[in-house]
Structure 1
Amino acid sequence: MFVRIVKMSFSEEHIDDFLNNFEENKRKIRAFKGCHLLELYRDKSNSNIFFTYSYWESENDLEHYRQSDLFKSVWTKTKALFNSKPEAWSLDKLESLV
């Protein structure tokens, strides 16, 4: 399993735009081939910071999504709202206890 975490920070006036864009597209992203999980988190101490957390079957599946029209549309709207550079981590899931 391939895990992708993206940290994004927005100015207060852009948070609703980001949340609306996420709401509009979250099911399409989750339904994308190879995506097994999509979650959105908000930092408890800084409400301008958000994280997406997603599981992908493989790095190739994530890359296929990143080349898609869906990603280009979502990311174009999202990146215009940032107040600082986003950060992203790609991880191999080694273990999970539920």
Structure 2
Amino acid sequence: MLTRIVRMTFQPEKVADFLAIFQDSENKIRNMPGCRHLELWQDADLPHVYCTHSRWDSATDLNNYRHSALFGQVWPATKALFAAPPLAFSVYPAGQDSSSPALPTT
């Protein structure tokens, strides 16, 4: 299981526009093959900063979404609202990446 987190800083006056985009697309994203979870987080101290947290069966599933027509609509519209570049990263639970052996335990 791959977890993807994308931290996005929006122009404060564009937050409502982003929320409308997210609301319109969240169920479509959740229905993409391999997507097991999607939620939106708002920063506790900076109300114009949001993170998407999603879980995917594999990196291939995430990349298939990232190359889909849906992503091609959602990401450019979202990106136009940024006040700063996004920070995105993908992680596996420690020792769970199928391409590497489990970490030793002591």
Please classify the TM superposition score into its range, dividing by the shorter chain length: over 0.9
Structure 1 distance, partners of 2:43, 2:62, is 24
Q: Extract unaligned runs of 5+ from structure 2.
A: 96-106
Q: Which residue of 1 aligns with 2:59?
A: 59
Max Rg structure: 2
Q: Which residue of 2 aligns with 1:47?
A: 47
Structure 1 distance, partners of 2:93, 2:57, is 11
Q: Extract unaligned runs of 5+ from structure 1.
A: none
CA RMSD in angstroms, aligned pairs only: 1.0
How far 1:72 sits from its partner (Å)?
0.8
Query: Which amino acid in structure 2 is aligned with residue 7 of structure 1?
Result: R
The secondary structure found in structure 1 opposite 2:81 is coil
Structure 2 distance, partners of 1:92, 1:80, is 29
TM-score (norm 2): 0.87
Query: CA deviation digits over 1:26-84, x for unaligned, max 9?
Result: 00000000000001000011001000000000000000000000001000100000000
Structure 2 distance, partners of 1:94, 1:35, is 20
Query: Which amino acid in structure 2 is aligned with residue 78 of structure 1?
Result: T
Query: CA deviation digits over 1:15-36, x for unaligned, max 9?
Result: 0000000000000000000000
TM-score (norm 1): 0.94
Structure 2 distance, partners of 1:73, 1:86, is 17
Structure 2 distance, partners of 1:93, 1:3, is 8
Structure 1 distance, partners of 2:20, 2:66, is 20
- Size of the aligned set, in residue pairs, is 95
Identity of aligned residues (%): 43
Q: Which residue of 1 aligns with 2:14?
A: 14
